[in-house]
Structure 1
């Protein structure tokens, strides 16, 4: 046997198997990433508390071309500690579960939800400064609910049922009528979750056919 011969590499995990995961392949790394993002939200809120100018005015302002770039950072801003804390716990739980196929896919899913929510608010939102990570919360929630159906994964559907039992009441937040609540951000975040789930399922199908 030639010791210099190239040994075959370990075949990658089939896309189908990756698409049906429930627990992240590197749970510690996923936990660190999600915790790091939530910690960043607290750092930003602390800066907002000590700076003379309020960052709350830097949210998405619908149809304001001079501040279109606010959609890049608006989920990082919150209207006080209570607002932030209300988003932090579901972000930790849902974000961790949404990273079940790895950090790369998690970042892609987050980007889709983030941009869909921000663009939707900018185009169709009501006047004012829209802030908060609740669009991400709704996006992750709907992503988890829909992906199991696309992937035809019994375990993911079971997790989705548990997620819905815990946070399903929040879906009422996509409806208008709550003063001071950006229902548009919730609605378009949820739509971003559907788009992300569809994209994940499409990539899995493409990988299997390839």
Structure 2
């Protein structure tokens, strides 16, 4: 039976990550420098460094603020519900969406953590659907209710917005939700859903143990 327990790490990881984004922006303002050239520059060899550095660079305080709130919430959800695969999803996801942006993006520097936001949004939403786990589906529905309008920004509807990065993040999150659908929290499988011969000898599922048996222990 899947359990969800809170730990300090679940809060610390998204908090420190978002805090680091603000420190980078403060450094730019304090010393009058711009890190924009370290963003993703599509189909340029040096532009590949933006896959690593791009998510930490923001154009202005509004850009940073608009990314910080959903990024914190989605990272918090990822580490709480999918802690077993959270780090893997986060790191591999950033690399994949960055590379896809490098392939399909316009010839301009693509900066900001919005691609990561879209990747997490997509992963958490579709992961709950694919796993058919009612708790995770509830999270998915809450996300679409709060941030469903984000979907429009995977289309080129606003100038100077990296819709290619948004689209890349959304697609990577969808693919990762399918690839990792059997890792992390899973819904309980009931006896009538198991095909004959699927249960191996010695497999003690709680619905197969006789409640009158001395070995019976109820789930908490």
Q: Could you say whether these structures have the same fold, taking a TM-score greater than 0.5 normalized by the shorter chain as the test? A: yes
Number of the residue aligned with 1:145: 125
Number of the residue aligned with 1:193: 173
Contact 2:47 2:102 in 1 (8 A): no
Trace 1:1-210 onto structure 2 (pairs within 5 A).
17=2, 23=4, 25-101=5-81, 103-203=83-183
CA distance in 1, matches of 2:157, 2:107: 15
Contact 1:60 1:67 in 2 (8 A): yes
Question: Whose relative contact order is higher, 1 or 2, with alpha carbons under 8 Å and at least 6 apart?
Answer: 1
CA distance in 2, matches of 1:70, 1:132: 10
**Partner secondary structure for residue 99 of structure 1:** helix
The runs of 5 or more residues in structure 1 that have no matched partner are: 1-13
Q: How many residues align?
A: 188
Shift of 1:94: 1.1
CA distance in 1, matches of 2:28, 2:98: 21
Number of the residue aligned with 2:194: none
Moved over 6 A (4+): none
Shift of 1:111: 1.5
CA distance in 1, matches of 2:25, 2:83: 25
The runs of 5 or more residues in structure 2 that have no matched partner are: 190-197, 201-220
Please tell me whether Structure 1 or Structure 2 has the larger radius of gyration of its CA atoms.
2
More helix as a share of residues? 1
**Partner secondary structure for residue 85 of structure 2:** helix
CA distance in 2, matches of 1:114, 1:67: 15
